């Protein structure tokens, strides 16, 4: 990585040992030079098996702008935003050489095709529909489903070491505290001043 990354804890694993980890790589990080090297380095710091959920970044921001200019039904924009995660997963897999997967925890490190995973067993229906649910909540949903810890890689550190305060400040989406209820351990990492 180009410099030191800061890290911290939002929740410790008090009830046992999590099985592997889910690394949520924020879509805003995709605009950083060398992001692909940083993604691989961060994944290596998570206990395997590691499932990477790549955020939507600028693709979803564009969809939000389109929706703001000419609102579409919430179900339509919700599905399109989730579908965009297949694009960022493919981008990250192609750039890093890491495999894509449709099932968490199957490789030492793999990038999750979120729409394909959500299509199995009607997982789509477990998520509320709307802009208040983003890849943050989806990553928490993935981590909870496989008993993994969750590492949130974001462009900035959280405003507080409290999940509810982080959601209120917009660091994670508003649904995240509920989506993360069953996640045993949650950590964060963000580029330091020199990273």
> Which pLDDT value is given to residue 1?
38
Query: Is it true that the peptide bond before 49 is cis, omega within 30 degrees of 0?
Result: yes
pLDDT mean for each 10 residues of the chain (195 residues): 80 74 97 96 94 96 96 95 97 98 92 96 89 96 95 95 93 96 95 79
Domain ranges of the chain: 5-191
State the virtual CA torsion across 57, 61, 62, 67 in degrees, nearest 10. 150
Would you state the pLDDT for residue 106? 85
β 5-11/186-191 pair status: antiparallel
What is residue 8's predicted lDDT score, i.e. its pLDDT? 94
CATH of domain 5-191: 3.40.1160.10
């Amino acid at each position: 990585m180009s410099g030191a990354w800061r890290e911290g804890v939002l929740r410790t694993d008090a009830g046992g040992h999590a099985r592997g980890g889910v690394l949520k790589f924020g879509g805003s990080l995709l605009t950083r030079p060398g992001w692909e090297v940083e993604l691989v380095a961060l994944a290596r710091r998570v206990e395997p098996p590691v499932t990477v959920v790549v955020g939507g970044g600028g693709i979803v921001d564009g969809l939000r702008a389109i929706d703001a200019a000419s609102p579409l039904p919430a179900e339509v924009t919700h599905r399109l935003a989730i579908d965009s995660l297949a694009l960022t997963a493919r981008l990250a897999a192609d750039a890093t050489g890491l495999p894509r997967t449709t099932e968490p925890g199957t490789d030492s490190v793999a990038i999750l095709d979120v729409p394909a995973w959500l299509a199995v067993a009607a997982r789509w229906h477990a998520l509320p529909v709307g802009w208040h649910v983003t890849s943050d909540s989806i990553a928490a949903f993935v981590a909870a489903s496989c008993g993994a810890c969750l590492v949130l890689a974001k462009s900035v550190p959280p405003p507080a070491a409290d999940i509810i305060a982080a959601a209120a400040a917009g660091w994670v989406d508003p649904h995240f505290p509920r989506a993360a209820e069953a996640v045993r351990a949650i950590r964060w990492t963000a580029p330091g001043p020199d990273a």
